[in-house]
Amino acid sequence: MVNRKRAYTSHFLLMAVLTTVALAAVNYLAMQHRARLDLTADRRFTLSEGTQRLFESLTEPVQVTYYVDEEPPPKRVNLERDVRDKLQELASASNGKLKFSIERISLADAKEKREELEKRNIHPTVDLLTTGGDDAARAKGFQGYYSTAEVKYGLAEPVVIRDIRNLVDKLDESTENRVDTLEFDICFAVLQMRSRGAKVPLKRLVRVLREPLMVRFWVSEQMPAANPKLGETIEQALRTLVEESGGNFKFEREVVSWGRVLVDRGEALPFVNRTQEDTVDPRDPTRKGARHYYSVLQIVHAGRMNFVWDFSGETTTDAVLTKMEPFVHELTRPRTKLGMVLPPAPPNRRSQPGQVPQTDYTPLFNFVQQNLGYETEWVDLLGQRRIPRDLSCLVVFEPNRLSERELYEIDRYLAEGGHVVMFCQGWEAKLRTVGRVPSANLALTKTPMHRHFEDWARNLGIEFDQTLLIDRGGKLAPYREHSRTGAIELIPASVPLAAVVEPGDINGQSVYGRGLGGLPLPFVVRIKPDDAKIAAAGLERQDIIALKNDIYRFIPANPAFPELPLNMNLNSPAEVESDPDATPGEKIRLHRLGEPALVATALRGQFTSFWTGDRKVPAWETQPGLAPPEDPLAGQPAPELKPRPGSLILYSSAGSLNIEYLYGYNLDEVRNALIPIGLTMFRNAADVAIYGEDFVRLRVRTGVAPRITGEVSEGRRLWWMLVCIAGMPLALTAWGVGRALVRARQRQEYEAALGSGGQS
């Protein structure tokens, strides 16, 4: 019996030792080969397929250097580990395209290298120190530490990602750069650097282009007396490029005879060089006088074209190549710039020619240009008379107000493979009342919808129904601005003036609709697509937003002077008709729609220019106070284009980005919902054109910080550490002791039973 007990005890001790050794080995292997299991619903901590596709497309390696404090605050004790894990995950997925290093900065290094680090935009991160829990936290000071990543790619200027934090408490949720957004931040940095890059010299550029560069060179027989060899100099420069390109550069030379107006093969040149000196007809020296002369290059690459003119000052081939270089770069560089076309300013806000017009959309333009990191350009169509061809996306506000020639230029850009976003506006109203009692009715104004815009849109299979839509669950109210204090006071109104996008209104398959739940659409109208026309044009349509809940069309009492009653009883059958099939009575102001109202859609494909066949190029309108512009293209057949795939995104409300309407909400709604969601709508459209759909999906997925844990005290942290280290051995020991006690008791009962049996 004693031997059996000893054998059992030895067996138990051996099993305990083997189990402890096995656990130690598993723990060691886990430390050497880290792995994580992502159990979040949106796979927030799993690398996206878009990131992997980005790595596959890179032609040069990415180097990430993470600068971290050698002695971080207790709150950030796991920061370096978390960042290292994320970088290791990215490096493993990149197939060698991404490499990283970690550089710890001690207190002594921070003092010695501070100036050098600041030159590289590496500054300490500052945490707000608080006392108490999340809900009752009080500030007690600040603490600084280093946590910055520097990303390098190719020859571009490195991008610095500052103030990287891990999620520890509630304050960290609102920070911009976090460990869970590091994947997005690094991808964004690489995309920025890849798009900017370093400018390649022209002779080298023509050798590495994937598609050949074609040039048509128009030159007059006569040249200016001040530069008689100009034509020969330009031709020699072009021949130099032919020799350097290895067959990747070609040009055609076309001579323009004396006095000829150059309209050939349907292509009228928009620019001509002028000289104040006499030019001589080489065939008849007696013919002299100030004349036009031509020395113009038309550069074509990948379906996009540009013109170079005014070579009057270039006397050498190098000078000609220098003149050409920025125009070639504009055509061949990746489209990364964002262009904006703003509507004309009202008469009381007229700006000087060449200055950004002061409209209600100008604050958005300034904010995007200064804060969102886009390379943004105001496209002055009336002043520049062209759209730059290096734009990745052209955003047009209220295109229904544009002149026909402005719309023609946008149409050409779209047909060349451009990406255009149009925010149309069907109605508008002055919501502000200054220093007086507000009216019971709100005067409405139909936004001009020019005939040429309607015809252009119908040609694509799109029609804007200018019936005002009212959402009973919407928001936006008139407001009163006090004349003395300038304070804003919302005026109570029962009729909401802006529909609100519900999650069910968004097409989940469209990347343009990501993150738009709660978006307000002031004075929205309906888009009516003609699927037959869209299909005939070879285009594909993908709807973005279709309003479905309690949407009504507004019926004004006097269509000539429409007014919206602000205190309408939305539950009164006398004013609101809820049956979409019923004929509304004379006093009905709101009639429910019987189908979803499409308010945002996207068209993709090869867009054929509207100005073909018998349609001639429209003339530019004369600006107030200026002489009529020279316009040799006006009235001529439009130059032929080879259509390339592009996209057109249409919204039937621009008011979400109109600062005038933001005052119709309380301050918390503006800060926490309207501006962020409105910018998300804008950024979705811009980012798809610049960086691709994968980028938008990644940005939206990492846009909101998940809550990991609340504040953890030092005592609780120590307790959980002891549980993790000693918990399993203690549990095994307790299990073994318990099992031994149970077996001993069973044995005693067994022996007692045997004894009682023998006595009987």
CATH code matching the domain that covers 202-332, chosen among 3.30.470.30, 3.40.50.720, 3.30.360.20, 3.10.20.30: 3.30.360.20
Closest of 676, 514, 690, 682 to residue 176, by C-alpha: 676
Give the mean model confidence (pLDDT) for residues 348-361. 77
49-195 and 202-332: identical CATH topology: no
State the amino acid at position 633 in one-letter form: L
Which spans in 44-106 are helix H?
49-57, 79-93
pLDDT at site 340: 92
Q: Determine which helix (DSSP H) or strand (DSSP E) holds 11, and give its type and residue range.
A: helix 2-32
The SS3 assignment for 329 reads helix
pLDDT at site 760: 47
Would you say 464 and 422 are in contact if contact means Cβ atoms under 8 Å apart?
no
DSSP letter string over 641-685? ----EEEEEEES--GGG-HHHHTTS-HHHIIIIIHHHHHHHHHHH
The SS3 assignment for 621 reads coil
Closest of 128, 124, 146, 145 to residue 137, by C-alpha: 128
* Beta bridge partner(s), residue 422: 396, 650
Categorize the per-residue pLDDT at 336 as very low, low, confident or very high, splitting at 50, 70 and 90: low
Would you say 89 and 33 are in contact if contact means Cβ atoms under 8 Å apart?
no
Q: Determine which helix (DSSP H) or strand (DSSP E) holds 442, and give its type and residue range.
A: strand 441-443
253-270 residues labelled b (16+ CB within 10 A) or e (exposed): eeebebeeebeeeebbbb
What's the half-sphere exposure (Cβ side, CA atoms, 13 Å) at 330? Answer: 16
Categorize the per-residue pLDDT at 435 as very low, low, confident or very high, splitting at 50, 70 and 90: low
pLDDT at site 29: 65
Closest of 337, 346, 361, 509 to residue 422, by C-alpha: 361
CA pair distance 58, 197, nearest whole angstrom: 13
Would you say 638 and 617 are in contact if contact means Cβ atoms under 8 Å apart?
yes
Q: Which tokens hold the place of 509?
A: 């398959």
Q: Which tokens hold the place of 430?
A: 């002055």
Give the mean model confidence (pLDDT) for residues 327-333. 76
DSSP letter string over 462-510? EEEE-PPEEETT-B---EEE-TTT--EEEPP-SS-SEEE--GGGB-TT-
Angle at 43 between CA 669 and CA 707, to 5 degrees: 50
Give the mean model confidence (pLDDT) for residues 30-47. 56
For the ranges 406-420, 447-461, 679-693, which has the lowest average pLDDT? Answer: 679-693
How far apart, in Å, are the Cα atoms of 183 and each of 87, 177, 379?
8, 10, 33
Q: What is the pLDDT of residues 654-663, one digit of tens each?
A: 988 888 888 8
CA pair distance 439, 480, nearest whole angstrom: 11
Angle at 528 between CA 525 and CA 529, to 5 degrees: 145
Give the mean model confidence (pLDDT) for residues 709-722. 55
Give the mean model confidence (pLDDT) for residues 17-34. 66
Closest of 294, 165, 169 to residue 222, by C-alpha: 294
Higher pLDDT, 43 or 305: 305
How far apart, in Å, are the Cα atoms of 159 and each of 120, 200, 254?
9, 20, 47
Give the mean model confidence (pLDDT) for residues 119-138. 67
Q: What is the pLDDT of residues 103-124, one digit of tens each?
A: 998 888 777 887 888 888 888 8
Task: Provide the CA 257 distance to its chain's centre, in angstroms.
Answer: 49
* Beta bridge partner(s), residue 443: 563
Categorize the per-residue pLDDT at 382 as very low, low, confident or very high, splitting at 50, 70 and 90: confident
pLDDT at site 661: 87
CA pair distance 451, 315, nearest whole angstrom: 49
* Beta bridge partner(s), residue 464: 527
pLDDT at site 521: 92
* Beta bridge partner(s), residue 605: 539, 646
Q: What is the pLDDT of residues 571-594, one digit of tens each?
A: 888 899 999 999 998 889 999 998
For the ranges 228-242, 349-363, 500-514, which has the lowest average pLDDT? Answer: 349-363
Whether residue 697 is predicted with pLDDT greater than 80 in this model: the reply is no
Q: Which tokens hold the place of 565?
A: 């009653």
Q: What is the pLDDT of residues 270-281, one digit of tens each?
A: 334 443 345 555
Non-local (6+) Cβ contacts of 253 within 8 A are 217, 219, 235
Q: Which tokens hold the place of 697?
A: 């999906």
CA pair distance 393, 690, nearest whole angstrom: 7
Q: Which tokens hold the place of 494?
A: 């029962």
How far apart, in Å, are the Cα atoms of 728 and each of 20, 22, 36, 731?
9, 12, 21, 5
Non-local (6+) Cβ contacts of 282 within 8 A are 221, 222
CA pair distance 181, 702, nearest whole angstrom: 5
Whether residue 289 is predicted with pLDDT greater than 60 in this model: the reply is no
Q: What is the pLDDT of residues 511-554, one digit of tens each?
A: 888 888 888 899 999 999 999 999 999 999 999 999 988 899 99
Each domain of the chain, given as residue ranges in start order, spans 49-195, 202-332, 337-619+634-696
Give the mean model confidence (pLDDT) for residues 51-64. 82
Whether residue 705 is predicted with pLDDT greater than 50 in this model: the reply is no
Q: Give 71's DSSP letter.
A: S
pLDDT at site 38: 54
- Give counts: helices (H), strands (E), the chain: 19, 38
Note the CATH number of domain 49-195. Answer: 3.40.30
pLDDT at site 353: 67
Closest of 679, 686, 699 to residue 337, by C-alpha: 686
pLDDT at site 706: 36
For the ranges 97-101, 365-369, 435-439, which has the lowest average pLDDT? Answer: 435-439
